[in-house]
Structure 1
Amino acid sequence: MSTTKTVERVTVLINPLAGHGHAPVAGRKGVARLRDRGVTVTEIIGTDADHARTLARRAIDDGTDALVVVGGDGAISIGLQAAARSGTPIGLIPAGTGNDHAREFGVPVGDPVAAADVIADGEVQESDLARITLTDGAVVWAGTVVASGFDSLVTDRANRMTWPKGPMRYNLAMLAELTQLRPLSYRIELDDATVQADATLVAVGNGRSYGGGMQICPGANKTDGLLDVTVVGFGSRARLVRLFPRVYKGTHVDLPEVQTYRSRTVRLQCEGITAYADGDRVGPLPVTIEAVPGALHILSHTPA
């Protein structure tokens, strides 16, 4: 569903580290364009993620017309925690390395002026969000994919590494995890079935992609009230390496070792595995993930 909102004043949250430090440049261009369009802009920069969430929630409570996030999927995740179910729309000025949220909603990537025009035009789309509940009762909202298994082990390792910097660190972490590849024993509880699987990874998608366009859940529809579950069964290292390029086109789901499911609620259990959502660490499994219809309002030109 699409509505039009008059956008007169917005709060802009900038992640200065996004896109290897390019976010402030994109932010300046986007903010200048918003002001050219007659929009009053208040800028906020948190000292850390918790502080940024507090500032964003305060802006929403104070009645900002929109919360605009400048950065990548990690920064957008901060905005989601503040804006979920609030009715206040989020606007995106993509400035990260992945930008999966922006691609999902058709927001221009690499053009902060065009992204600012989307915000000023005021077309609001409704979208589902995934609500993740940890064993301690903590709740995290996710817009794209909840990842667990091989990919989360790689991210765990990369986060522990101090060298090298940049994408190469992730590549080295992936090579290291490939040498230790092992079956992961999952219990996956769906609405109408329970699946036991020795898997390489399990991804739960509200959206289709993560990691900068990897369509791990290619059939996901962010307005159907359901989550898509992709289970990659355990296989050899060579098989996993052959599967990897197909993820960018979403054709991996046609392989016999890949199973897909659809469910409103998903509970994942696997000892020693951490869940990540929108690229950020959520916490150890087990977690319960639920599709919440209409939890997100987002400024977009593309119907959600």
Structure 2
Amino acid sequence: MPPRRDARHIALLTNPAAGKGRGRAARDVVLPRLEAAGHAVRSLEGRDADHALELAREAVADGVDALAVVGGDGMVNLALQAVATSRVALGLVPAGTGNDVGRHLGLDRRDPLAAADRMIASLATGRRERIDLARVGERYYATVMAAGFDAVVNERANAMRWPRGQMRYNLATLAELRTFTPLDYVLELDGETRRLAAMLVAVGNGPSFGGGLRIAEGARLDDGLLDVVVIKPVSKVELVRTYPKLFRGTHVTHPQYERHRVRRVTVTGPDVVGYADGERFGPLPLTVECVPGAVELL
């Protein structure tokens, strides 16, 4: 059946490996749903991340109405590099491990058809949500940049070949806890310089990362500001005790918690690599600025 006159052109970009194959399975139910609604769908699947980004940018350059991704936060981050500040809307079918962007949108990775129906309704009514992005150089992220203990753990875990999944991060956490000490940071907060020691510094565009860790509790994706969170020195026992509070956002009452709301921040620290949306952004110093309303979400 040919597309309807009011059909939209959608590029559907899938990470087939997301969620141990959940991505491909979700794509296989979402694609016919979108086509049944009368839309013209271009299904894309990159050989690797670089190829997937190339396909996404080609689709945006071709003038598709929407780029929809099937995957986790890493896939969303990849798509942001193609759609940020463009007129192409971003759709999401969460199928990864973290899914912090999907969580913000109220999407359940166990129900890909509900995500498809949300996109269909948005395309039909024109109702969209415009959100801010954080920009580091020419790269964007949607959730949180980690630049402390959590980033050190991520760096170690990425260097490990075994085991796979969450257990790798658990082992990396235990390994780092044995030797980790507070780091000396320099923060430039909208031009004001602060020097301090901390366990971690996180720069939140949104409130959570890492599968629901609400490190930047209270951060909003549409306020034109970044939330810079500092956890000042605590004992290793206290760090382990505080960790579960991150899932509830109740760590904000801890006496070593500090929060700053700014439009731009430069984070400098020794031997730390910044991670944002779960992706490696590079060693400090890194400058992050908020780009208000940078992307439109279906």
One-letter code of the match for 2:251? H
Task: State how far apart, in whole Å, the 2-side matches of 1:186 and 1:21 are.
Answer: 40
Worse-superposed segment, 86-95 or 41-50: 41-50
One-letter code of the match for 2:76? I
Alignment partner of 2:136 out of 126, 132, 135: 132
SS of 2:19's partner is helix
Task: State how far apart, in whole Å, the 2-side matches of 1:69 and 1:264 are.
Answer: 28
The answer to whether the 8 A contact 2:267-2:287 is kept is yes
Aligned to 1:199: 198
The 4+ residue runs of structure 1 with deviation greater than 3 A are: none
Aligned to 1:249: 248
Task: State how far apart, in whole Å, the 2-side matches of 1:218 and 1:29 are.
Answer: 34
Aligned to 2:49: 49
Structure 1 position 193, deviation (Å): 2.4
SS of 1:17's partner is coil
State whether structure 2 residue 176 is matched by structure 1 residue 181. Answer: no
Task: State how far apart, in whole Å, the 1-side matches of 2:58 and 2:130 are.
Answer: 22
Aligned to 2:119: 119
Pairing 1:48-127 to 2, within 5 Å after superposition = 48-122=48-122, 123-127=127-131
Task: State how far apart, in whole Å, the 1-side matches of 2:262 and 2:188 are.
Answer: 9
Structure 1 position 192, deviation (Å): 5.0
- Superposed CA offset, 1:269-293 (max 9, x none): 0021000110010101111100001
SS of 2:88's partner is coil
Task: State how far apart, in whole Å, the 1-side matches of 2:128 and 2:7 are.
Answer: 10
Task: State how far apart, in whole Å, the 1-side matches of 2:80 and 2:7 are.
Answer: 19
The answer to whether the 8 A contact 1:270-1:285 is kept is yes
SS of 2:147's partner is strand
State whether structure 2 residue 152 is matched by structure 1 residue 148. Answer: no
- The total of aligned residue pairs comes to 289
* Shift in CA distance, 110/66, structure 1 to aligned 2, threshold 3 Å: same
The answer to whether the 8 A contact 2:132-2:292 is kept is yes
- Superposed CA offset, 1:213-247 (max 9, x none): 11000110111110001101121110101110110
Task: State how far apart, in whole Å, the 2-side matches of 1:126 and 1:108 are.
Answer: 20
Structure 1 position 107, deviation (Å): 2.8
The answer to whether the 8 A contact 1:7-1:120 is kept is no
Structure 1 position 36, deviation (Å): 1.8
Percent of paired sites with the same residue? 48
One-letter code of the match for 1:127? I
Structure 1 position 50, deviation (Å): 1.5
Structure 1 position 7, deviation (Å): 5.7
SS of 1:98's partner is coil
Structure 1 position 108, deviation (Å): 3.5
The answer to whether the 8 A contact 1:10-1:66 is kept is yes
Worse-superposed segment, 145-154 or 34-43: 34-43
One-letter code of the match for 1:71? G
Structure 1 position 120, deviation (Å): 1.0
Task: State how far apart, in whole Å, the 2-side matches of 1:40 and 1:270 are.
Answer: 48
- Superposed CA offset, 1:116-169 (max 9, x none): 011111231111000012xxxxx2100000111101110111111111112111
* Shift in CA distance, 84/111, structure 1 to aligned 2, threshold 3 Å: same
- When normalised by structure 2's length, the TM-score is 0.95
One-letter code of the match for 1:258? Y
SS of 1:68's partner is strand
Structure 2 alignment gaps of length 5 or more: 1-5
State whether structure 2 residue 277 is matched by structure 1 residue 278. Answer: yes
- Superposed CA offset, 1:163-187 (max 9, x none): 1112111100000011112011111
The answer to whether the 8 A contact 1:103-1:109 is kept is no
Cα RMSD, aligned residues only: 1.1
One-letter code of the match for 2:147? S
The answer to whether the 8 A contact 1:7-1:121 is kept is no
One-letter code of the match for 1:46? G
